Structure 1
Amino acid sequence: MESVAITPLFGTEFRGIESLDDEIAVARIAEALRWRGVVLIRGANLDNETQIAFSRHFGELVTPLPNEEIMTVSLDPAKTVAAEYLEGTFSWHIDDTTNDIPAKATTLTARQVAEEGGGTEFASTYAAYEYLPEHEKKRYEGLRVVHSFEAAQRTVYPDPTDEQVAFWRTLPEHESSLVWKRRDGRRSLVIGATADHIVGMDPDESRTLLDDLLAWTTQKQFSYLHDWEVGDFVMWDNTGMLHRAQRYDADSPRLMQRTTIVGDEAWS
């Protein structure tokens, strides 16, 4: 079993794993997930049952539909009821920012890939915060940000209907620290498409700050693009990794299987 850094600042690729039930393999992957944020196993070719079983090593699984611990990711509405919602995954985001406790981690297995586009990009908000100039860290200290489903959907539908807006606003907003002081001592940024505004700040100033911070976090040194091959398995720390899908045609055969692991640390 060999591990190789994906980028200098985050991400680990594992090679030569004989079994994902092996306790040593699970422990090493867990350690890499915690400190490196993204784990890649190329050509793992996990079936649904194996992906679910492996994911359970890390905690209870979210069930997007009753009694279903795995979700189909596709833009084809015939394959998943979430096809329309998945348009929002083309924007940088962290999942569950409107919940009290975000999902701990997410896994994806590639069943089919797009002919063009369809890669998944990751950006480390841990590394982005660590490399901020000290005066910027002081500027962000104590700021709080409001996250909403509406903010994310407006990146997909910039001119929504009244009915769309009314539905979006039935879903709860959530306020958190802009800089999340983690229980392990690290700090990460809570930003992305759901970040609507900074509490108490002029709206234009707030939007500029959030856009600038997102641009800083997603620059090349803090990010990684994974070009999928059939059978690839990727797992990431949802609490500290921004992610997004590269655009691909709605008629593309791209199909992923996803599990999501229930979180255990509330936003501060």
Structure 2
Amino acid sequence: MDEEVRMTASTLSRFEVTDVSPRIGCTIEADKETLLSGAKVQEIREILERRGVIVFPEINLSDEEQIAFTHTLGIFAHEEGEGNGDKDVVYPITMDETINPIASYLKGAFFWHLDGTMSDKPILASIMSAHALASEGGETEFCNTYAAWDDLPDGEKADLEKLKVVHSVWRSQLYWKPEPSYAEIKQWQGRGSNTLPLVWKHRSGRQSLVLGATAQQIEGLSFAESEALLVRLRDWATQPQFVYRHEWKLGDMVIWDNTGTMHRAMPYAMDSGRLMHRTKLEGEEAFA
């Protein structure tokens, strides 16, 4: 590359970061070449941990480009039950069962959750691109569970740090279908359960709350006491100062730190045609 071409390429590259609220979220205005080159990987990962959510407005990556971009950030996650085996593919987030045969399972996404509570090491992050939008609704909300922990009264933190919570898939599915058939509940329960700390002490030294729709019961508390505390902490963590709501435009790509945020989809018509393409990064740190 001669000097003139090099200068032109440098001039055309974009990477402009803007915070969207004081406690969570930012936008990065970038060009495809800059993202796919991997030149900004360390900066993106640092911003992701610090801000929780990154929006790349109308970047319009193809599936192949999204997969390639995911590889620049870490190890591509191949998750059990998503039907892709060891092949790198995007996963369709849709309520259209002709596109995703297990679309009904995704209805749990309308409630606050983090992904991977059935694993000891949850995914690091999700990357999602908008390919078709609902005419109304379908925004995605994110809350910063680091900031929520930081702002709790110091006198309460010591007690919360001692608690462990049983998480299960069937608990989250009951949010959208509170009266399942016996066959359905047995199928959901077949996914098992996992006991996790209520407060995640990250290797960075930071701490975050581990909550969400899979949280079934706090060990050592009655069901009523457990439910009251989990709801109170969820309400605390999802206060407006900790939340960013993303209003999607076609071509938007959003990355969120699954280890330090919860998220949920806002309601939209099941026949709206809304379609997101998602990839994920393998987890790098176990719950602790």
Work out whether the TM-score is over 0.5: yes
SS at match of 2:270: coil
Mapped pair 1:133 → 2:153 = yes
| 8 Å Cα contact 1:119/1:245 also seen in 2 | yes
Separation of aligned partners in 1, 2:124 and 2:54: 14
Separation of aligned partners in 1, 2:179 and 2:47: 42
Separation of aligned partners in 1, 2:30 and 2:89: 27
| 8 Å Cα contact 2:32/2:59 also seen in 1 | no
SS at match of 2:31: coil
Report Cα offsets for 1:224-257 as digits up to 9, x if no partner: 1000000001001011110000011011021110
Separation of aligned partners in 2, 1:221 and 1:61: 32
CA drift at 1:48: 0.3
SS at match of 1:225: strand
Mapped pair 1:11 → 2:25 = yes
| 8 Å Cα contact 1:43/1:231 also seen in 2 | yes
CA drift at 1:18: 5.1
Report Cα offsets for 1:99-123 as digits up to 9, x if no partner: 1110010000001111111000000
- What corresponds to 2:55 in structure 1? 40
Mapped pair 1:204 → 2:219 = no
CA drift at 1:62: 2.1
Separation of aligned partners in 2, 1:78 and 1:184: 43
Mapped pair 1:29 → 2:49 = no
| 8 Å Cα contact 1:112/1:256 also seen in 2 | yes
Mapped pair 1:51 → 2:60 = no
**1:175 aligned residue (195, 200, 225):** 195
Separation of aligned partners in 1, 2:67 and 2:119: 23
Report Cα offsets for 1:4-27 as digits up to 9, x if no partner: 002101212111435212343222
| 8 Å Cα contact 1:62/1:69 also seen in 2 | no
Q: How big is the alpha-carbon RMSD for the aligned residues of Structure 1 and Structure 2?
A: 1.2
- Matched length: 268
- What corresponds to 1:95 in structure 2? 115
TM-score by length of structure 2 reads 0.90
Separation of aligned partners in 1, 2:130 and 2:77: 19
SS at match of 2:28: strand
SS at match of 2:95: coil
Separation of aligned partners in 1, 2:38 and 2:169: 39
Which blocks of at least 5 consecutive residues in structure 2 are unaligned?
A: 1-14
- 62-71 or 43-52, which moves further after superposition? 62-71
- 169-178 or 208-217, which moves further after superposition? 169-178
SS at match of 1:84: helix
- What corresponds to 2:277 in structure 1? 257
Mapped pair 1:185 → 2:200 = no
Q: How does 1:99-138 map to 2 (within 5 A)?
A: 99-138=119-158
- 131-140 or 182-191, which moves further after superposition? 131-140
Which one-letter code corresponds to 1:14 in the other structure? I
| 8 Å Cα contact 2:110/2:264 also seen in 1 | yes
Which one-letter code corresponds to 1:267 in the other structure? F
| 8 Å Cα contact 1:15/1:41 also seen in 2 | yes
Q: Using a 3 Å threshold, how does the CA distance of structure 1 residues 152 and 40 change in structure 2: closer, same or farther? A: same
SS at match of 1:21: helix
Separation of aligned partners in 2, 1:165 and 1:113: 32
**2:76 aligned residue (61, 64, 75):** 61
| 8 Å Cα contact 1:61/1:69 also seen in 2 | no
Which blocks of at least 5 consecutive residues in structure 1 are unaligned?
A: none
| 8 Å Cα contact 1:17/1:25 also seen in 2 | no
Based on CA coordinates, which of the two structures has the bigger radius of gyration?
2
TM-score by length of structure 1 reads 0.97
Separation of aligned partners in 2, 1:145 and 1:68: 33
Separation of aligned partners in 1, 2:77 and 2:155: 39
